[in-house]
Every structure is written in C-alpha cells, then in structure tokens.
Structure 1
Amino acid sequence: MKRHIPIVLFLLLANLALAQKASITGTVNDNAQTPLLGVNVMLKNTTQGTQTNENGAFTISNIEAGDYILQLSYIGFKTREMPITITSDNISLGTITLYEGNEILNEVIVEGERRNKFSRKETAYVSKLPLKDIENTQVYNTVTTEILKSQVVTNFDDALKNATGVEQLWQSTGRGGDGAGYYSLRGFSVQPQLVNGLPGLTNGTINPANIERIEVLKGPSATLFGNAVSSYGGLINVVTKKPYVGTGGELSFTSGTYGLNQIVGDFNTALSKEDNLYFRLNTAYTTEQSFQDAGFRKSFFVAPSLSYRVNNRLSFSFYGEITQAEQTNPTFLFLNRSAPTEAANLDELGYNNKLSFTSNDLSLQNPTQNYRVEMDYKLSDTWQSQTLLSKSATSTEGYYSYLFDFGILGGNTYSRFISRQNANTQTTDIQQNFIGDFKLASLRNRVVIGVDYFNETGTDNSTGFAFYGNITPSGGANGDNPFTPDVEEDSYPLSTSAVDAALASQGVSNAKSKYHIYSVYASDVLDITDNFSAMVGLRLDHFDNEGDLANPDDDYDQTTLSPKFGLVYQPIKDKVSVFGNYQNGFTNVAPQLVGDPSQGAQTLQTFDPEQANQMEFGVKTNLFNNRLNATVSYYDITVKDRVITDPSSPFNKIQGGEVESKGLELEINANPVKGLNIRAGYSYNDSETTKSDNLEILNRRPLEAGAENLYNLWANYEFQEGSLDGFGIGAGLNGASERFAINYASTGEFILPAYTIANATVFYQAEKYRIGLKLNNAFNKEYYKGWTTINPQQERALLANFTYKF
C-alpha cells in the first residue's frame, strides 16, 4: 500500500494541474463576414497555436493561466494582435474580423455583429500605416458601402453627399483633362483622383458598383500623397472591393424615374483553394436620361480583382477598373467673369431649368482604365515591404459645348461654343513602402518609409471652339454672332452633321505634354506614453516638367520639402482623444517673364512652390462600445507665396498673394439601439483672399469655397423581431447656405439660393434578398449648384431596387 501512495499523489497533482489549464475558442471572418480558412492563430512567444478550419473556427487547448498576446496572421490580410488573460475558465472570443491588404489595424476587433454600420474608420490609407482613427492626428470621413446600400445610391455624386463639408461645385463634364466632377472641401476645389491610395484618374464619373467605401481626407495632405492628386482642402480616396476566401456574391437591379436602369453584379470564387488564389468580379451596366428635355448617360463597368497568397510571407494582389461610358455634357450657364450680368439672381434670369440646350445627338465618350498591382512581403515580425504599381488611362472623344454670357447682345443672351474633343491622359505611379512597428528604448514606433515615382502624359488633338448660336435661359434662340459687325439670322441645328460642318474650319490641336515627380517620404507615430503620441512626417518632392514636348522653353523643375506634425492625447484610452496637427500642401509654380520690354528683352524668373499650411485641433470619441463615434475640429489654412504683380513695378512678379480658409466641422455616427444607425455632419467655412494684386477678388470669398454652411443627416432603422422583422425605413436631408456663383469687384455678386433636400427609403431585408424603394428630393425642390456657373439639379425621382445574394 505504501508503495502506491507516491503514484496516487502524482496522479492527483497531475489532474489538479490539468484542471488549472483552459482553452480559447473563436471564429475568424473577413470584412464581408465570410469565414477564413487556414488563418494562423498563435500565442505569441510560445509553441501553442493552431489554424482555422473551413468554418473559420479555432481552438487552442491546455493553456496555463497567465497573460498572453494572441496573434492572427494570414497572407493578404494584416497581422493582428490582442492581449488576453487566461484563468481557469475557458474563453470564447466570438467573431474576430481581419481586413484585407494594407488597410488593417494591428489590434484585433472582437465582435459578434459589427455595430455602427455607417462608420468604418479602420484604414491604413490615410496615414499609410495601420492606425486607428482615434490615434490619428488627421481628420477624415468615411462613406461605407452600408450607407450606399441603405440609400440605394446609383452615382458617385450622391454617395459624396454623406461626407461632412463636401459640396459639389459642378458635375462631370466629360471634357479632356479635367472632365471629372469638382467638389469644394475646406474652401478649395478637389477632384476624386485616388483609388486604394494610388492615382486613379477619370474624365467622367466614378461607378459606385465597386466601392467598399469612400475616404475624404481633410486638409493639405502633400506630405504623404504629393500634390498631383490632392488639394489644399484635402483629397478623396476610393477604396474598392477585394477578393475574399469563399464563393458568393449578389445580383442587383435598380430602376427609377427619368429612364434609370442599372444592373450590378458581384461574384467571388476560388480559382485554386490549394494555392490560395481568389478572384472577384464586380460589374455594372447603367442607362439614364435627364429630367430636362435632352441628356443621357450610359456606361458599362467591369472590375476584376485577384488575390494570391504564395506563402505565409508573400502575397500578390491585382485590381482593375474598366469603364466604357457615353454621355451628353451638361451645358452650364457660364456667367461673365469680367462684367456684370443683366440678371443679379435666378428670378431676374428667368431660367427654365427643364431646358438642356443640347441634343442627344451630341455626346462624349469617356473610356477609362485603372490597374493596380501590389506585392506584400513580410520581412520580419516588425517590418513589412509593400511594392505598388498603378496605371491609369482616360480619354475623351466627342462633342463638348458651353454657354457663356459675353454681355454684348443683351437680353441675358448666352453664346454657345462647341468643340470636337479628342484627348487622353495616361499616368504611371510606382511606390515602394517599408512599414515597421517596433520599439526603441521601450517607445513604440510605427513607421513608413517610401519612395514614389509619378508620371503624367497628356495628348490633345481636339478642334478649336466654334461659335454655334445663342440662347436665352427662358428658351429663346438666335444666330447673331456677337463678334461680327453684321446682324445674322443663321440657324444652328443641334445635329452631328451640322456641327461637323461648323467645325470644319477650326484648327486641330497637336499638343502633347508630360511631367515627372520623384519623391521620398517618411512618417513616424511615436507612442511617448500609453495615452500620448506624436506623429512627424516629411516629404522631399522633385517636380520635373517637360511641358509641351514641342516647346523646350516651357521646361522647368522644382524641389520642395513638405512637413507634417501632430499630437494626440487620449484621456480615456481608445475612447476619447484630443488632437492637434500641422499639415502642409504645395503647388509647383511655372517661371514667368519679367522686365520692362521697352528696356530690352524680358528675362525668365523662377519661383518657389506655393505653400499651404494648416493648423487644426479637435476631439475624437469612440464611446459605448463603438456605438457613438464623433469628431469635432477647428482648422485654419493659410495659402502663401501666390505669384502676384509687384506693387512697385508692373513688369515684375513677386510671391505675395495669400488666401485664408478657416472653419469648424462636426461629424457624428451613432448606433443607439440595435437596428438604428444615424449619421450627421455640419461644417462652417470662412474663406477670403487676403492679399492679391487682383482687385477683382481681394477681400472676397473665393468661388471655389462653395457655401459657408453645409449639413447632412441620414437615419436608418431595421426592425429586429416580430412580424416586422426585416422591414426598415430611412430618411435624411442635405443642405447648404447661399453661395456665390460670381463674386468679383466689377461684376458684383450672383448668389445661388440656399437649399434643403429631403430623401427617404423603405425596404425589406431577408437572408437572401433585399427589396427597397427610395425617394430622392422628396419635396421636388428646385435648386442649383455652380462655380462661375449655374447648374440645375435633378428634380424628384423614385427608385426601386431588388438585390439577391448567393
């Protein structure tokens, strides 16, 4: 008996030790909530770990009590870590979401169902680093795919109405070089020219079928993105849908007023599960007419994407967007910029906004192609290499016209000028980034070091502009050319044959231009304490302009330093942060001829780049377990070194012009109860040209600044149980204060009135399908936008949508 006592004691101690051990379980999904197979799940600095099964589930057993770091890694997705504490109890972590590509945080988000669907701030594009919004010194808004589905959005302009402080200045014209839409942001105009953090151009409108979300970065952002794709007010980045592990998709059809029909497809599958090769295809075909007497647009869009995980260290991704589009260009009324118009407002103008002053026979084609290739390689536990290549090609071919008030003929007469466009723009961008997350002297550093090469080549073989009759806003027409002494009564039919005959005497341009940008940049987020961090960044940018390739005299180059600095203090970790930033932007300035020509030959004077500097401070919150996200900030942007005429010599130029833009922004995303999501935004902007040699604009609000006050609201509720389970309603509004279409000393002011537009939707959401009705401009408000132009907006429209998921 005594011989067996040690054995019994050993077995009792062993059972006691096993009783003190525990297991952890969980499920890993991607952002589309699709289970991920083969994710490596490890307890860092131990030998314990496992991989997820086909359902995304994992279990790690026999874990001793203590504190651990759980690490999840999967090529094509960002490695994420979370601290856990093991006691004697088993732990269920629920659903853990990993995000694709380079846009993921280092921390794991543990959630059953993502709350606050209208807010998605997990992104690495804004800072080129995996950084949470609450610890980022820059302000940015995101418009998620959930908002777009909730609002039955069929075009990019409607999608951007959800971004705080963004107002459309004019819609896409389709013309060569700059045919995409223009928007006002913090007092400055900007076009959407960034896709997945890389240049992606268009002369038309962006198709929303492939949008995962839209990111609107606020303030000068040249330090990380340069000046080719950003403005002093910020930039717009479109994040596209990406392949995921699994097979599935959806098919959607939307039909509505004014001949709208849109079919959208989304399909994802594995080309080879063994090789971790996945393919996704998004496509759309859209046709739509106008609420006016003429006008249409139609487009076919296809976006293939490919993800290939070679091994646990190396992965490749490919993304493409190809668009074939045709539209009539909107015929804005261009106000006279040098003399007063006869009408000072819309009432005096007598504008019949049902008239388009164009013909469906006169259209523009805007084929666009954007391609991106990405290679991610894990160099070590602390460093990652990211190699990026993007190519863009966008073209314009067809008829472009505009209406301008020369003030010669009287009677609010606008003269039409028309050209046959034949132009294209091509860009190439190559980036190499090294992204690190490491500690130095116990201080955490998150670093990006990158080099960037950008090239843009433009070719223009368009005709000159020919006079093609006059119109009045009320619908009158005549053929009297304002630039000839005789009174003429010629007719100008809006047909291709008649227009071609008028253009036969016009010359054809043969221009080709090119420029290159070589850059190196670095940014570091230093955690000084657990709650206090600093961001510092610097860009060295060399601009090499070849200009018109047939004219070597317009060549020049400039080198610029662009700094960035910010501080963040979190009084409540991961819930409340107080931040401040200094951000820089710049514009390259071409040399100009100076000197009195009567005293001899003029000389070419070079200038420093024009500079914009922003100071901003504010507060960000993430409260109640992500149920309430809010950002409030105040900014002051000063643009200096604009080239103006020297006050002491009319033959000399100096850099003394200044513009100041300051304002307040507030954004709120709330999920107060399950099923209810609310998004609201308000912005106030005060802009003024404070120094200029041009007395026309001195001490006046720049026209590109848009409205002083902008506001947006959208609320969406889906019933969660009972007989109404799956039914939902949504409602919201967009509005702006009055704003200047013209604001010059010699012309006076032409003010576009304030507006508030209401929209509403009802829907039923089931597991496999969704049915929705959307009413835009519910009260049929007549309203206008413009930038030295008058552009009538769409009247009330009803849309019906059916979506099937598989």
Structure 2
Amino acid sequence: MKLFVKILCLTFFMSTATWAQQAASIIGTVSTTDNKQASSISVVLKGTKIGTVTNDVGAYEIKNLKPGNYTLRVSSVGYASKEKNITIVSNEVITENFVLIATSEQLDEIVIEGAKTNHFAKKENVQISRLPLKNIENPQVYTTISAELLKDQVVTNFDDALKNAPGVQPLWASTGRGSDGGAYFSLRGFAVQPRALNGLPAISNGSLDPANVDRIEVIKGPSGTLFGSSIVSYGGLINITTKTPYDHFGGEVNYTAGSYGLNRVTADVNTPLNEDKTVTFRINTAYHTENSFQDAGFRKSLFVAPSLSYKASDRLSFLFNTEFLSSESTNAMQLFLTRSAPLRVHNMDELGYDNKRSYTSNNLSIKTPSFNLQGQMFYKIKDNWTSQTAVSRTSAKSEGYYSYLFEGTTSFPDITEGVVFGRYINYQNSTTLAIDIQQNFIGDFKIGKMRNRIVAGVDYFNRQIIDNGTGYVVNGMVYIGDDSLQTVNEKVFGITNPAQYITTGDSGKLSQEATDALLATAAVNNSKQKQEVYSAYVSDVINFLPNLSAMASLRVDRFMNAQNGAYNQTALSPKFGVVYQPILDKVSLFANYMNGFTNVAPGEDINGTTRTPRVFDPEHADQLEFGTKLNLFSDKLYATFSYYDIKVTDRVYNIRNSATDVTYYQDGAQENKGFEAEIIANPIAGLNIVAGYSYVDSGTTKGDLNTIGLRPTSAGAYNSANLWASYRFPEGDLKGFGLGFGGNYVGENKITNSIVTGAFTLPEYTVINSSIFYGNEKFNLTLKIDNIANVDTYDGWSTIHPRNMRAASASFSYKF
C-alpha cells in the first residue's frame, strides 16, 4: 500500500510539472477488419506536411499541433482510405482509432528488407500485457526472441533458443516424465518451464519444437495478475507466439544436417482458401532425428501445426491454431547428488566423470506425444471496444522408461575416491489434460482528457493428471571415480573373481527384457488428480499525459484441488506501474510493483504412526523494479536496463528427521535481487547485434536452518551473458554473404548447497559459436559451428547434466 501511495505521488508530481509544457496531440490505433494491428500505415493531416506512420502494434501519435480544424487521413496500399474531421484546442490529447477495410485490388504482400533494418527487434505483442501497448510504455520488462534470430543461429531445438534471453539459464533438461517432464530454466533465480502458447496454457512433457515459433517472449517478474499461477513462476513466464496465416500463397522449406546424426526437414506453407481471401490456411511441420554426443542417446520427432484464419465480417473473425508433436527419446543423463548427507565430492574435478558416458541404452526410451488446440474469436463491438474469446485444449502423455542415477545413503567406507550411484527406473504411463476458457474485453477510450487502455477478463482453467505408471526399482549400481578396478568390484559390486569383474563401473542390465523383469515386481499407480481455477482480472493503463502513464491491475483467483483431500483457496494479486518518457517514444523511465502466488498442495505431518493433514495458504512473491528503456536512432537501438528485488513470503518447507518424523512449516522466506541489461542494435547497414547480461543474488532469509543464508539451488549462476552479432554485406560483389559470431557465458553454479551436504559447484564456462552464410530473396545457405573450443559444460538443479560438445551443421532453405 505504501508503494502504491508513492507511485500516485510520483505520478501527480510529474503530471503537475510537465502539463504546461505539452502541446496538443492526436493518438490512436489502426487495425484491420480481421482484428490485426496494422503497421506502417500512413496517418496525415490533409493539406499539411504533418504526419506519421503506425508502429508494429498499429499505434500512432502526431504531436506539437496548433489549435484549429483538420482532416485526418489514414491510407495504405490495398485498403480503402478513411478520413475524419477533427477540431483541436490547446493542450488537448485527442484519440482517434481507425479500422481499415481491404479493397478488392489488395496486392500480395511485398517485403522490403530495407524498411526494417533491425531484424532481431520484434518487441510489440498484445499477448504480453493483453493490451496494444508499446514496449517503451510498458512498465514490465520482457525479452523477445524473434524467428529471424533463430534462423540466423540455425536453432533446431527450443532450449537453444532461450540462450538469447538475459537472465535465463538452463537448470534441468527434459526428462519426459509425467506432468512436469519438460525442461526447466532459471529465470531471475526461480525455476520455470515454457508453459504458455499465445498467452494461453500449454503443456508438454518432452522437448519442444521451434518450427512454429514466430517469437518467444520471456516476460520477467511475478506475473500472477494477468496470467495466474498455472503457467508462471516468481521469476516470470515463457510465452510462445506461433505463426499465423496471411493473405497470399507462399512458404519456405528447409533441410538441416549436422553432427551426431542430425537430420531435420521443415516446411512452412500458406495459402488462401477462397477468392476473397477471407479464409486462409497455414501449416508448419518438422521431422527431426538426432543422436547424442555420448555413447548412447537419441531423439526423433514429427511435428505438425496447421492453423486457419476466417474473417466472417468486418467486425467478426476467428483464428484456430493446432500443434501435434510425436516424440521419442532416451532420458538425458542426470546425476542426482545426495540431499541428506555430507557430499563426498564438491566439483567436477573431484568427481572424475567422463561426460561421454550416458549410463543409459537406446533400448530404453520414452514417448511423449502432445497436442495443443486453440480457438480464438474476435468481435469488434465498436471502434474502441473489442471482445476476445479464447478456448484452449492441451494434452501431454508420457509412456516408456524413465531413469536417473541417485547418490544414496549407503556407505562404502573402503571406497576412498568417487561416488556410488543407484540407477532408479520406472515405467511411465501418465496423461495430463488441461482446458482453459478466457473472455476478455479490451477498450481504448478517454475519461476527460486522459486516455485509458483497459482489459477486463474472466478465466477458467481445469487440469487433470492421470498416472498409471509403476513404482521405481533399482537397476544396478554405477561407480564414478578413480578407485582401482579390484576395489570397486569387491567393495561395491561384491565380485571377487577377476574373470567376472565389471570394467564399465555399471552393474545394471539395460535391455528391455531385463528391465521389464525388474519392473514386474513393482507396484502400479492408480491415481487421478484434478485442479480447477476460476479467475477474474482487470488492468488499466492511464495516460495522464502523452509521456506519462500509470498501470493498475488486480486479479482474484479461486483455486480448487481434489488432490490429497479437497481444499479451496482464494488469492489476490495486484500490480502497479508508472512510466515517464522524457523523450517521447525514445526514452522511458519505469517502475513497477508486481505480485505472484502459488497454491501449495496439502501435506502431512508424521509423528510415528500418527499422520496429521496440513493445508497451506498460498505463497506470495512481491517485486519492486525500476529501470529505463530506449528506442533510439529510428528503431536501430533498443535497450533495457533494470534493477529488481523479489521477496517471497509464506514459503512451505518441511523438516524431515526420518521417514516417521516429518513436520511442515509455512514461515519460509527468500529474496532474489539483481540487474539485467539487454541491447538489440543495428549500428550500421547489414550489422545486427543482440547482447545481454544478468546478475542474480539469491538467498533463503527465513525457514529451514539448514539453508538460511545460503543460495537456493534453483538460482543458477550469479553472472551470465549472451551475445550474437550477424553481418550481411548489403551491396557490392559480396552482397548476400554474411558472418555470424557469438556465444554465452555462465558463471559458477552451486547445484547443491546446504549446511548438511556442503556445496557442489559446477564450473563456469564460455561457449563460442560462429556461422557463415549466403542468401537472397529466394534461398539461404548457412554453415555453423557450435561450441568451437569443445568446452565441457554442465547445468543442474541438485543434478549434474552434461551439455552438447562441439557440433557442425549445414542448413539450406528455399522460399516460394
């Protein structure tokens, strides 16, 4: 509440100080009848030389106008021009919105590369704030990764795409296991999965395919106010915006081949389905096969994503998006370190792990088919009010073998070096189903002289998890270290005959037959969980002046869970922000307060044979953030610099002294604070640069005495940085040729960190990548090398997972 008062005071002071300096202005938006924002539309005052063009979200502004009568004209090739007579008085801000109607002479789309030189900058998207809000006037920080950047880097998997976002670090590779088998990332020091598709919930238990990605938005900070708790973390959320149909025939096919058996074929085809182009269809598809750099491991998948757009009338339109992914892979190798006893080793040098060893078999794979179906209806109620109705249905299944290596508590006192792991394996048979229904009303209107952009909506989310998999069994032990072969066989595997020594350090039987025989004795799960969330939210951006705005938002959630005994909870999530632009549309200063929350599943206190159910209140995270955003030199330089402080309260944790002595508490607290910087630049013709830096300081401030004052394992490294620079010769004999260069730096990372265990630290690393390419308007050929120096790299979250070594690839694409 104190923060809100401060923001209001700041807003009043700025508005009082600057009101007298403002001349009259005209602002507004231009859209098409199919409810799309119209960019690069000419907006002029007839009979004068005064005018502008709309930006990427269809917004425009004409400022510093003298009082008088004018005719405002909006026009573009392929659309019927519109005019409005307006009268301007001193210090007035007039809002005029337009909806353009396509003419019968509408031309096929012509893309002029020179018109947009900063190819990696694709900032604007209504899904981020559920409003047509420009980046520079949004008090929230976000990073956008464009499809153009992914093509430039020859990205063939979704995880590599996120290397371009400051503050995002890989924690945990995709496991394929039920309900949460997708990859985990650290975002502002909190674990998050990519679970949003076009702003709606989407679920996957395996690796995602980037073939249908138009852009990826990494939306920073607790975002419970607009997105609830089902798809976000306290650090933010990762949203995927998919490709949509357009109004002429076209497409692209691509083939990529590379190291470790990489073969990938993609196709993107778009076509109108009728003469007046009111029905358009687009399909993106990919077939992918790839082996591991290790001694075993593979991934193969087939991805199909058809989408359909239908313009029923000038006011009513529909958009349907679907994605089907069939995927099969082996588990990524992961070493789970002990969480309840002192560590025997504390870094990779002491462990002595050979990263070429996978400790798995291509005979033991897991299938993770998934689909996402989305339908959206847009209805233009009037020029300044739009209704958006959205329905999504998602399904993710896991079926097959899931295993991991775990450092148990069994003592081997005669083993002087290294660690003994047990291989735990089960058969996954799990299905997660979810449905989401949303209704939003989006308005753009004035109250007095103040412009209001508002979204008010309701949301219903339902998720069911059905688990019929088996319990875990132990399939052998694995020794990693430098003790003698005789000692390991005698003291770990219990083998005294040298003729029977195990030379691989692995006593497991990794055939399907042997594994199935072990699993035949395991119990079979028969569980079904159901969660429902009813939500209502409202967010209003008020322009007190053209260069001064404030955002106020609130969400109420009613959460109902049928797991571990039914319980219901209600959570409130507020959000406030203020933006001041000392140089309009070029420089902004912003501050925000944001809230996120988590509905915690019930637990049980255990005291001997007595079990006492526990129900917990929602956890909450509160963020304070301030910084600046820049958009300079005619869109050639985008930059964001921000400092944030996130405090989590009411955290749930338990003290486990034994299997029969467990007590839960809800007084834990954590604080994450840090600095982020992002630059997207086009300093000279042909040169495009993306760069970022992140510093995250994280610590447990209250709760389990075993971790107070220590860095949580989900926080990742303190420091990380990313860079990609691409130069294409714009003219001359080398026109079309280009070079790309960049990489990532990640500092030391404590993946296990407590008073009981001590700390295990993964080493810092710097990975350098480079490419050379040639192309024109029809085709493009790219040769790329990743991890040029062949550096050993690892990520983890109480686990150790080796990442890819040096790899080369060649990519050829043809446009039609």
Normalised by the length of structure 2, the TM-score is: 0.85
Q: 1:705 to 1:95 in 2, by over 3 A?
A: farther
1:710 equivalenced with 2:717 (yes/no) = no
Shift of 1:441: 1.1
**Is 680-689 or 477-486 further displaced after alignment?**
477-486
Distance in 2 separating the partners of 1:595 and 1:416: 28
**What's the counterpart of residue 701 of structure 2?**
690
Distance 2:411 2:566 in 1: 42
Partner of residue 637, structure 1: 646
CA spacing shift, 1:525–1:656, aligned 2, 3 Å: same
1:530 pairs, out of 533, 546, 551, with 546
Indicate yes or no: 2:514 matched with 1:498. Answer: yes
2:342 and 2:742 mapped to 1: Cα distance?
38
Instruction: Quote the Cα distance in structure 2 between the aligned partners of 1:640 and 1:40.
Output: 41
Equivalent residue, structure 2, for 1:298: 300
For the 8 Å contact 1:341–1:405, the answer to whether it is kept is: no
Match of residue 472, structure 1, among 479, 486, 492: 479
1:623-665: CA deviation from partner (whole Å, max 9, x where unpaired): 000011100000000000123579xxx9986532110000000
What letter corresponds to residue 519 of structure 1 in structure 2? S
Pair 800,40 (structure 1): closer, same or farther in 2 beyond 3 Å: closer
Alpha carbons of structure 1 residues 431 and 60: separation in structure 2 relative to 1, 3 Å: closer
Equivalent residue runs for 1:539-578 within 5 Å? 539-547=555-563, 554-578=565-589
CA–CA distance in structure 2, aligned partners of residues 541 and 216 of structure 1: 23
Q: For residue 106 of structure 1, report the CA deviation from its aligned partner.
A: 8.9
SS at match of 1:357: coil
Q: Summarize the Cα distance change of 1:403–1:451 in structure 2 as closer, same or farther, 3 Å threshold.
A: same
Q: C-alpha deviations, 1:701-755, integer Å up to 9, x for none? A: 0000000001000000000111100000000010111011211111111100000
Identify the residue that residue 455 of structure 2 maps to in structure 1. 448
Residue segments in structure 1 that go unaligned for 5+ positions in a row: 1-28, 31-35, 42-51, 99-104, 549-553
Match of 1:320 among 315, 319, 322: 322
Change (3 A) 1:767 1:689: same
- Specify the SS of the correspondent of 2:139: coil
Distance 1:419 1:665 in 2: 41
Amino acid at match of 2:340: S
1:183-332 aligned within 5 A: 183-274=185-276, 276-332=278-334
Say whether the 8 Å CA contact 2:43–2:73 is kept in structure 1.
no
* Structure 1 residue 115 displacement after superposition: 2.6
Structure 1 match to 2:431 = 424
Q: Is the 8 A contact 1:537 1:564 kept in 2?
A: yes
Alignment match of 1:617 (pick from 599, 609, 626): 626
Q: Indicate yes or no: 2:391 matched with 1:364.
A: no
**Cα distance per residue 1:220-244 (max 9 Å; x no partner):** 0000000000000000000111100
Letter in 2 for 1:538: L
**Cα distance between partner residues in 1 of 2:348 and 2:261:** 28
For residues 523 and 794 of structure 2, the distance between their equivalents in structure 1, rounded to whole angstroms, comes to 35
* Paired letter, 1:213: R
- What is the CA-CA distance between 1:591 and the residue it aligns to? 4.4
Rounded Cα–Cα distance in structure 1 between residues aligned with 2:557 and 2:490 = 51
Q: d(CA) in 2 for partners of 1:117 and 1:97?
A: 26
8 Å CA contact 2:43–2:74 kept in 1: the answer is no
Distance 2:728 2:492 in 1: 60
Whether 2:130 is the aligned partner of 1:128: answer yes
Offset of residue 608 of structure 1: 2.3
Is contact 1:469-1:480 (8 Å) kept?
no
The unaligned stretches of length 5 or more in structure 2 are 1-29, 81-96, 101-110, 656-660
Number of matched pairs: 740
Q: Check conservation: 1:106, 1:130, Cα contact below 8 A.
A: no
Determine what percentage of the aligned residue pairs are the same residue: 50
Aligned partner of residue 302 in structure 1, secondary structure: strand
- Which one-letter code corresponds to 1:525 in the other structure? V
Say if 2:753 and 2:760, in contact at 8 Å, map to a contact too: yes
Rounded to whole Å, the distance in 1 between the matches of 2:665 and 2:290 is 50
Tell me the CA shift for residue 348 of structure 1.
1.3
Partners of 1:629 and 1:71 lie apart in 2 by 18
Q: For 2:302 and 2:277, how far apart are their aligned partners in 1?
A: 32
Q: What is the CA RMSD across the aligned residues, in angstroms? A: 3.6
Indicate the residue corresponding to 2:598 in structure 1: 587
Equivalent-residue separation in structure 2 for 1:59 and 1:80 (angstroms): 11
Question: Do 2:301 and 2:327's aligned partners in 1 also have CA atoms closer than 8 Å?
Answer: yes
Give the direction of change, closer, same or farther, for the CA distance of 1:335–1:97 in structure 2 (3 Å limit). farther
Query: What secondary structure is seen at the aligned counterpart in 2 of 1:750?
Result: strand
CA deviation digits over 1:366-419, x for unaligned, max 9? 101001000000000110000000000000011111101114253411110111
| Cα distance, 1:200 vs structure 2 | 0.9
Question: Contact 2:42/2:75 (CA < 8 Å) preserved in 1?
Answer: no
Residues 533 and 560 in structure 2, CA contact (< 8 A), matched pair in contact too? yes
Distance 1:470 1:602 in 2: 34
TM-score (normalizing by structure 1): 0.86
Aligned residue among 748, 757, 761 for 1:751: 761
Structure 2 letter corresponding to 1:674: A
2: CA distance, partners of 1:765 / 1:259: 25
Helix, strand or coil: the match of 2:127?
A: coil
Q: In structure 2, do the counterparts of structure 1 residues 596 and 729 end up closer, same or farther at CA, with 3 Å as the change threshold? A: closer
What amino acid sits opposite 1:536 in the alignment?
A
SS of match in other structure, 2:480: coil
Letter in 1 for 2:762: L
The residue type paired with residue 495 of structure 1 is: S
Q: Which residue of 2 aligns with 1:457?
A: 464
CA distance in 2, matches of 1:158, 1:514: 33
Which residue pairs with 1:674 in the alignment? Answer: 685
Superposed, 1:744-783 pairs within 5 Å as 744-783=754-793
CA contact (8 A) 1:258 1:291 kept: yes
Distance in 1 between the 2:600 and 2:353 partners?
40
Aligned match for 1:722, one of 732, 749, 756: 732
- Return the alpha-carbon distance in structure 1 between the equivalents of residues 358 and 694 of structure 2: 32
State which of 605, 622, 626 in structure 1 corresponds to 2:635: 626
Which whole-Å CA distance do the structure 2 matches of 1:785 and 1:79 have between them?
Answer: 41
Letter in 2 for 1:688: G
Please state whether the residue corresponding to 2:136 is helix, strand or coil. Answer: helix
Task: Name 1:12's counterpart in structure 2.
Answer: none
Q: 1: distance between equivalents of 2:45 and 2:708?
A: 74
SS of structure 1 residue aligned to 2:160: helix
* Aligned-residue offset at 1:69: 9.5
1:459–1:39 CA distance, 2 compared to 1 (3 A): closer
